[in-house]
Structure 1
């Protein structure tokens, strides 16, 4: 596997790229003042709310909230992974993507050709299995099985379903014509080798399901046994082009069927995906004999805003659902939804859709799917009994670290409120929330229009916004370093410190590069929100320094109040008295 892409190269790609030019090649933009506008490509709208700033190299939709830099746009619009988006930009500029030396080296021309040959061989293997379903002497056995499962010829063809012959060397004879070809078959696990160095087909006498990646390339196979004996399903092992945790069976077909996927349903088996598609429910996918991974969730939320996990209602099904929920939490932004539908004992999507039909099945999805919040607490409340103080403490200790992973502010707040309700602290939570909200607004004051800073932003938010607009400010205002306040409890001070430090070390960076640096930061969404509102400041240096002075003043007053409260409970120590006297002098 190729090594990591150097951070310097990523920054260079952002600096070289004009976001207006890149987006305009995919979505027609129109000039609107200093910015550009279009109807948002990420949701349906009649009037344009999608704005692109050439100055900041940043886009934002005021309708759905989509935002980011040029890399984010390519990932969302072209459905690319992060490295693929970098490669797309590099190709645009006709530049080779470098890889870090302390990591695995970038693939050579020979290795790239090898990968291309692998994809071609896997496609040939898929066609071979499909042909065997038509011409092999035992084809009737396979065809009758498929008919018995209620599959039509059209759906079999659409998914490229085939048959692996029962002979030991069907694949080997067809493609293993020389030692090099046999080695490639071994590498791709189309054939295998025993301890005696005897080589034979990996898949034999099985219904074959080609597994395609999101680009439509065959990367592996799933084989379903026809008769009792051996594992029911046999999947391709990991190879240089196949990684189970990154692929979903049926995802390529679902994307082909829908330009914009309204929802995706995760099921457990290949046959479930195919049967549902035959009944017109062509948005189902299946993991490949493994749990639904974080990579699966991330890939699906790039394609849709709604995921429904449809599992068996037994213990194994619920455990699989819980693992999927845990993996999904870091990707739950506001505007996306995850639900769970647990089927009755003995039923799976394949059998159920045949019994009740498409409309009733989709009605069940709509009316009986359990929201993530409900499944989350149902599961935890089975483990912890909130009738006791200890049970409540255990519930909170397990729930809060999970809730805090959620990136969507609204979703995180709702689950936190639900947790307080389950613990009998709903009114207390509401009171604390209202107090925090009131404090964030501060006292209503008459606005002095002659002041330099006309914004009602808090000092921390103001300093962050100014740094995003002009990273060079950190070097210009080196004395206003928020690191002096690192040990305080001022909200947002930790993020401000990190952004300030980066900008101070990279004064030539632009807004897009700062956002890229903090792409995976737990509070990255706060930075994006700061850029969502119109803002202009005529005297940024003065306002930045004034905001820092306000923070220092807040801290000093807060510490004075704290020491005064302590003095009411006990005598201050000599060190505390000395500190208090110094604070009083500072306030004069």
Structure 2
């Protein structure tokens, strides 16, 4: 596997990037005082509330709360994963992304090889499109597409093509050298028999290019035109194509929807294309496999609502249950997964042609929620009219619920389970749940009061990292983390700012992206953004003075309630008692 991207490179590319250029290439910005404004690209609005700060290299929307640095913006707007966003940013600057060496580090020439692979796949895709327009037998392919009700516009949108019936169509065009033929073999564009004869892998088929999240062609799906052979033939696994990690139509859905809020998982290429022609441009298809954990993660990162569409027969419901099982560890509060089971003999392509877009979307709105399908499936396996059946149901259901990391959803499913298995088992479970609800004190969490001195210091350093070096007398490092909530985070942030005198908000956020405490920093930035612009140096020093007072008061209370004190603690207690305490705990 590829090595990690070095931290120094990430810091360097953030330092050389102007977030205004990155955002303005995607959303037209207008100057507004010292900042820039636009209507937010992440929610619908008529009055601009999306602000980009060139000084802080940070964006923030006062409407929906979206915020982050240049990398965060690329990830959210282009819907890319972190490594892909770094690649995109590096491409913007015209530089290569280095990788740290480690076990399994690829050959130094692998990057060039992959780029050549993607270029060849794109050329082959265009070749298939050209054959659909020019090949002597193109009419049968065109007639098939027309018979399926596809328009020329939708065929062009999805780059659908035609693999000619000849044995060596692609081989002749792209296999001019032994090296090129080997590349065609590696990418499974041609195949070789036992007699070492080579010929095209796809022949006489409607061709659907499969694109990755960045729009690069990584494989193909081919639909047979006449009887004989498998109905659909997909590219085998290659060094650039892993079917369990890709979804057909995902790239097109992102391109068609600036703000993608829903994705519908269907079974076939033709379903995706037909739905798009009717205006449902948010359908994707698994590539000849069931919905995998990698698919689920990809979906939940992209949208808050996922609808899985299956046949209503036993096989369809079994496939839906497998998707549910794969989804459980990745469910989170704020997202929902639902299931749509089609009438007998229907698929999305045929159904939308019968009832139209409006009625079809209404069926989507009425899709079965995950929780309902979850209990519907489990209660069919157990006889809950008996205590033994209830016990068996509870045991199996809890095994699934424990996989869910979404606290609210997990609690609601447990409540529903209690109702369905009401009795002594439910009572025992309720007692256990109540006992487990007592939360331990966590000194690593920032205090929630808006005027907490620790909270204020963290916010000030986030917005103005230079405060650390310009006020060296403010030093939280010697303070006791047990006496002030959130002090651990403040110390880490202060240390980073002292070591990086020229850091801005965007660089700080990037440094703490993978830090367990990073989420707390984002929460602090989310609230009252830009509220600390007036005399920040004085506010910074005053907040530190209040923190010292808080520490002294907390230490006094710690000693006061202690049963017995050492001689040193007695002297410390007397000294604290004589100190006039002006700080009041919040």
SS at match of 1:354: helix
- Taking the aligned partners of 1:326 and 1:245, their CA distance within structure 2 comes to 17
- Taking the aligned partners of 2:54 and 2:556, their CA distance within structure 1 comes to 41
1:351 aligns with 2:350: yes
Alignment correspondent of 1:497: 488
- Taking the aligned partners of 1:196 and 1:541, their CA distance within structure 2 comes to 81
Alignment correspondent of 2:368: 370
With over 3 angstroms needed to count, the CA separation of the structure-2 counterparts of 1:462 and 1:302, relative to structure 1, is same
Of residues 375, 388, 405, the one that matches 1:403 is 405
- Taking the aligned partners of 1:38 and 1:248, their CA distance within structure 2 comes to 32
With over 3 angstroms needed to count, the CA separation of the structure-2 counterparts of 1:233 and 1:328, relative to structure 1, is farther
Of residues 414, 419, 437, the one that matches 1:419 is 414
- Taking the aligned partners of 2:540 and 2:85, their CA distance within structure 1 comes to 34
1:52–1:60: 8 Å Cα contact kept in structure 2?
yes
With over 3 angstroms needed to count, the CA separation of the structure-2 counterparts of 1:585 and 1:143, relative to structure 1, is same
Cα distance, 1:235 vs structure 2: 1.1
Of residues 527, 530, 542, the one that matches 1:533 is 527
Cα distance, 1:186 vs structure 2: 0.9
- Taking the aligned partners of 1:35 and 1:428, their CA distance within structure 2 comes to 54
Cα distance, 1:55 vs structure 2: 4.6
1:239 aligns with 2:230: no
- Listed as ranges, the matches of 1:386-535 within 5 Å are 395-396=397-398, 398-404=400-406, 412-413=407-408, 415-417=410-412, 419-420=414-415, 422-423=417-418, 456-458=450-452, 461-462=455-456, 464-469=458-463, 472=468, 476-480=475-479, 482=481, 497=488, 500-501=491-492, 503-504=494-495, 507=498, 508=500, 509-520=503-514, 524-534=518-528, 535=531
With over 3 angstroms needed to count, the CA separation of the structure-2 counterparts of 1:397 and 1:583, relative to structure 1, is farther
- Taking the aligned partners of 1:417 and 1:556, their CA distance within structure 2 comes to 43
User: Residues 478-506 of structure 1: CA distance to partner in whole angstroms, max 9, x if unpaired?
Assistant: 10252x57xxxx9x75xx63663364256
In angstroms, what is the RMSD of aligned CA positions? 4.6
- Taking the aligned partners of 1:41 and 1:173, their CA distance within structure 2 comes to 46
Q: List alignment gaps of at least 5 residues for structure 1.
A: 405-411, 437-452, 564-575
- Taking the aligned partners of 2:348 and 2:570, their CA distance within structure 1 comes to 69
- Taking the aligned partners of 1:403 and 1:113, their CA distance within structure 2 comes to 38
- Taking the aligned partners of 2:109 and 2:552, their CA distance within structure 1 comes to 53
User: Scaled by the length of structure 1, what TM-score is found?
Assistant: 0.74
- Taking the aligned partners of 1:54 and 1:380, their CA distance within structure 2 comes to 54
Alignment correspondent of 1:177: 176
Alignment correspondent of 1:340: 339
With over 3 angstroms needed to count, the CA separation of the structure-2 counterparts of 1:380 and 1:547, relative to structure 1, is farther
- Listed as ranges, the matches of 1:17-56 within 5 Å are 17-24=17-24, 26-32=27-33, 35-56=35-56
Cα distance, 1:82 vs structure 2: 2.5
SS at match of 1:476: coil
- Taking the aligned partners of 2:507 and 2:118, their CA distance within structure 1 comes to 34
- Listed as ranges, the matches of 1:157-168 within 5 Å are 158-168=157-167
Alignment correspondent of 1:8: 8
2:57–2:69: 8 Å Cα contact kept in structure 1?
yes
- Taking the aligned partners of 1:548 and 1:417, their CA distance within structure 2 comes to 43
- Taking the aligned partners of 2:191 and 2:509, their CA distance within structure 1 comes to 48
- Taking the aligned partners of 1:307 and 1:351, their CA distance within structure 2 comes to 21
User: Residues 436-467 of structure 1: CA distance to partner in whole angstroms, max 9, x if unpaired?
Assistant: 9xxxxxxxxxxxxxxxx997445664564355
Cα distance, 1:259 vs structure 2: 4.3
- Taking the aligned partners of 2:373 and 2:558, their CA distance within structure 1 comes to 42
With over 3 angstroms needed to count, the CA separation of the structure-2 counterparts of 1:463 and 1:397, relative to structure 1, is farther
Moved more, 511-520 or 462-471: 462-471
Alignment correspondent of 1:443: none
With over 3 angstroms needed to count, the CA separation of the structure-2 counterparts of 1:345 and 1:101, relative to structure 1, is same
2:290–2:319: 8 Å Cα contact kept in structure 1?
no
With over 3 angstroms needed to count, the CA separation of the structure-2 counterparts of 1:338 and 1:201, relative to structure 1, is same
User: Residues 370-413 of structure 1: CA distance to partner in whole angstroms, max 9, x if unpaired?
Assistant: 34454456567778979767865764564244134xxxxxxx43
With over 3 angstroms needed to count, the CA separation of the structure-2 counterparts of 1:275 and 1:234, relative to structure 1, is same
Of residues 103, 106, 124, the one that matches 1:104 is 106
SS at match of 1:402: coil
1:129–1:208: 8 Å Cα contact kept in structure 2?
no
1:381–1:395: 8 Å Cα contact kept in structure 2?
no
1:35–1:53: 8 Å Cα contact kept in structure 2?
yes
User: Residues 242-299 of structure 1: CA distance to partner in whole angstroms, max 9, x if unpaired?
Assistant: 3334432223443454444453322111121123234343332212123445665565
Moved more, 418-427 or 224-233: 418-427
Alignment correspondent of 1:200: 199
Moved more, 261-270 or 426-435: 426-435
- Taking the aligned partners of 1:65 and 1:432, their CA distance within structure 2 comes to 35
